[in-house]
Amino acid sequence: MGRRSLPRVDKNIELGEYLFSLSDFTDPWTPFDLFDRPAELEIEVGSGKGLFLASTASRLPDADFVGIEIVHKYARFSAARLARCGLTNAKIIHGDALALFTQHLPTDRIAAVHVYFPDPWWKLRHRKRRIMNDAFLRAVQRVLQPHGELHFWTDVEEYFQRALEQIRVSTQLDGPRHVEEAPAAHDLDYQTHFERRMRLHERPVYRSCFRKLGFS
Ligand SMILES: C[S@@+](CC[C@H](N)C(=O)[O-])C[C@H]1O[C@@H](n2cnc3c(N)ncnc32)[C@H](O)[C@@H]1O
The pLDDT profile of the chain, 216 residues, written as one tens digit per residue, is 556 689 999 999 999 999 999 999 998 999 999 999 999 999 999 999 999 999 999 999 999 999 999 999 999 999 999 999 999 999 999 999 999 999 999 999 999 999 999 999 999 999 999 999 999 999 999 999 999 999 999 999 999 999 999 999 999 999 999 999 999 999 999 999 999 999 999 999 999 999 999 999
pTM: 0.98
pLDDT at 27: 83
Handedness of CA 183, 180, 165, 108 (dihedral sign): positive
Q: Which ligand 1 atom sits closest to the C-alpha of 118?
A: 10
Residues 6 or more apart from 203 whose CB is under 8 A from it?
1, 155
Handedness of CA 88, 94, 95, 98 (dihedral sign): positive
pLDDT at 3: 61
- Tell me how crowded residue 83 is: count the other CB atoms within 10 A of its CB: 20
Residue 83 CA to ligand 1 centre (angstroms): 20
Site to probe by mutation for ligand 1, drawn from 22, 69, 200 as the one with most ligand atoms within 8 Å of Cβ, is: 69
